[in-house]
Amino acid sequence: MEALRELERVQRVLSLMSSRGLCDTGSSGGGAAADRFLAQFLLFMVQPSESLTMENKFLLVSELLGKATPDTMEEVHHLTHLEGSHHLEADQNISSGALLQPNKKFKMHAEKSTIQAVPMVGFDAMTRAKSTLEDFCRSYFMFHGLDANNPQSIFKYLPVLSFTESYIYQLDASNEDSLNLIPDNRSSSKELERKKEAFDETSLSQMIEPLDSFLQNQGLMTDRLQTELKSGIQYWSLERKLCQALTRNEKVNELHMDFLSISEFLVEISDDLYDYEDDVINNTFNILRMFAAIYGPSEAPNMLAKCIGEAEEKYESFSKKLDPSLSGSCWRRCEEATKEGGKISGHAYGTWNIPSVISDEESFRRERTSKHDASTVII
């Protein structure tokens, strides 16, 4: 839960940074990771201090950054990751959701020292992944000519398989924990919005970035795998929405859904007919264009009129089943919308006007373009 609260704090600071123009402009090449680092740094800066004011802290850090170098940072990093402190940190974080955040691992090379971002997982996630890994080896190794009963085959691929599956389980657990933060009916709308922003689909994408980078570095990422990861994010996002709906005891009124669905369908047709020529010029979707492509220019208006008639019948049927007061309000709103739009076409209170089908769209575009160019020259 602490990891989720930390994520919520970072998300709020990221929003503030974006509104103030404080995000990474690309000079560091860090992108989203750079923005998260800056957000976490700002959170560190505002931590309470016994004797230092905000201004004191700002001046101290400004002076320090003018003297320190990347080599200085690597030396400090090395000093803080000695044997004793490393074990202490591991004991504190072994089961923490904070392990979802990339850890920095210090490596010494022959030429120079570097810092490498390494995502980590907790022991509980590894335990949950155990049975899935066993089933994976027994069910899929045969497709690659590998023997699941051969220890050499198992241990050759165990690191990458174990890490990947465990990381996904860790993300899944974090996603489930986020459902516990759904506010009850006593919570304010402001609190609801704040929590919603902290655990939206964007945060899921950010949480899976370390796994994405890991697979990229291992040379294992493919377009198909990228699609699978995106599907997983969509699945988790849908899972949240459904569980939140259940938590709030939301019930869908099927009649309302049917009525509103057919109502919006008719409104969309009305808009398409009104914008038909513009949509032809811009080559954008329009229902009359689609009907012309399917049924031909001469038959398209008749088929569309039939479609509209059937939809209006459904609209009338659903409308009669609504509560009389609600039905009356909907009809009044429909009449207002028709008048406000100033359109000839419209459903319920209005008449339908299906434009003449433009059979040669390319010629129509050239003609309109020529007229526009001519009027521009005259002006």
What are the tens digits of pLDDT across the range 177-229?
A: 666 554 555 455 555 555 555 555 557 777 788 888 888 888 888 888 888 88
What mean pLDDT value characterizes the chain? 76
CA 333 distance to own-chain centroid: 34
Pairwise CA distance, residues 124 & 132, whole Å: 14
- Which is higher by pLDDT, 31 or 161? 161
Could you read off the pLDDT of 33-49 as tens digits, one per residue?
A: 787 888 888 888 888 87
Structure confidence at residue 292 (pLDDT)? 94
Structure confidence at residue 294 (pLDDT)? 93
The single-letter DSSP state of residue 357 is P
Could you read off the pLDDT of 227-266 as tens digits, one per residue?
A: 888 888 888 888 777 777 766 667 778 898 899 899 889 9
Pairwise CA distance, residues 309 & 306, whole Å: 5
Pairwise CA distance, residues 107 & 74, whole Å: 10
pLDDT over 80 at 379, yes or no:
no
The owner of tokens 């399917």 is 294
Note the residue count of the chain.
Answer: 379
In this structure, which amino acid lies at residue 339? K
Q: Residue 11: which of 148, 178, 202, 180 has the closest Cα?
A: 202
Cα atoms found within 13 Å of the Cα of residue 134, Cβ hemisphere only = 5
Contact present, 255 and 322 (Cβ < 8 Å)? yes
pLDDT over 60 at 345, yes or no:
no
The owner of tokens 């008449």 is 351
209 contacts: CB under 8 Å, gap ≥ 6: 32, 33
191 contacts: CB under 8 Å, gap ≥ 6: 183
Structure confidence at residue 30 (pLDDT)? 61
Q: Residue 46: which of 28, 58, 64 has the closest Cα?
A: 58
pLDDT over 90 at 331, yes or no:
no
Structure confidence at residue 4 (pLDDT)? 58
Pairwise CA distance, residues 19 & 73, whole Å: 30
The owner of tokens 């513009």 is 278
End-to-end CA distance of the chain: 66
φ, ψ for residue 105, nearest 5 deg: -110, 125
Q: Residue 95: which of 173, 158, 159, 36 has the closest Cα?
A: 173
Structure confidence at residue 104 (pLDDT)? 41
pTM of the model: 0.39
Structure confidence at residue 48 (pLDDT)? 80
Structure confidence at residue 305 (pLDDT)? 95
Structure confidence at residue 239 (pLDDT)? 77
Contact present, 267 and 338 (Cβ < 8 Å)? no
Residues forming a β-bridge with 114: 107
Q: For residue 259, how many other CB atoms are within 10 A of its CB?
A: 21
- Which is higher by pLDDT, 120 or 131? 131
Structure confidence at residue 310 (pLDDT)? 95
Q: Residue 366: which of 298, 280, 286 has the closest Cα?
A: 280
Structure confidence at residue 103 (pLDDT)? 44
**For the chain, what are the domain ranges?**
123-247, 254-378
